[in-house]
Amino acid sequence: MMLNALKRIIAVGTSGLLLFSALIVTGGGTINAAGVAGDSGQDVFNIVALGDSITAGYEPGMTDPNTKPYGYAERLLEQGWYHGRASLTNYGILGLTTAGLRNYTGAIATGAAITPEGIQAGLLDPRITQFAGQTVQIGTELKVADLITITIGGNDVSSLFLKVKEITDVDFQSQLEQRLTDYTTNVTAVLENIRVVNPQATIILADQYQPAPGIALGPNYGQLMTAAGRMTTTVESVAASINREGAPVRVAHVAERFAGIEGSLTHIIGIGKADFHPTQLGYEKIARVFAELQWGEYRSPAVAVMTPSSAPMSIVVKGIELNTPNKPILKNGQNFLALKDVLNAVGATGKWDNKTSSATIIYGGRTVVITIGAKNIKVNGQNVAIDTPAFLQKVGKEDKTYLPLAALATGLGFDVKYSGQLRTAFINP
Phi/psi of residue 177, nearest 5 degrees = -60, -40
What strand order describes the sheet that includes 202-206? 86-92, 45-51, 147-151, 202-206, 249-252
Q: What is the pLDDT of residues 203-237, one digit of tens each?
A: 999 999 999 999 888 999 999 999 999 999 999 99
* Mean pLDDT score of the chain: 87
419 vs 410: CA distance, rounded Å = 19
Q: Would the pLDDT of 35 be above 60?
A: no
- The pLDDT of 101-127, averaged and rounded, is 96
CA pair distance 125, 62, nearest whole angstrom = 13
Q: Are strands 86-92 and 45-51 parallel, antiparallel or unpaired?
A: parallel
- pTM metric for this prediction: 0.89
Q: Which amino acid would we find at residue 327? A: K
pLDDT bracket for residue 304 (50, 70, 90): low
pLDDT more than 70, % of the chain:
86
Render pLDDT for 36-69 as a digit per residue (tens, 0 to 9): 555 556 799 999 999 999 999 999 877 665 668 9
Averaging pLDDT over each range in 2-16, 64-78, 350-364, which range is the top one? 350-364
Nearest to 220 by CA among 60, 7, 9, 59: 7
Give kind and range of the element (H or E) at residue 293: helix 280-295
Q: How far apart are CA 100 and CA 120, in angstroms?
A: 5
User: Which helix (H) or strand (E) segment is 268 a member of?
Assistant: none
Phi, psi of 240 (to 5 degrees): -65, -30
**Residues 382-402 as b or e (16 or more Cβ within 10 Å = b):** eeeebebbbbebeeeeeebbb
Residue 312 carries which DSSP code? P
Collapse the DSSP code of 353 into the 3-class scheme (helix H, G, I; strand E, B; otherwise coil) and give the result.
strand
Question: 273-289 pLDDT, tens per residue?
Answer: 778 999 999 999 999 99
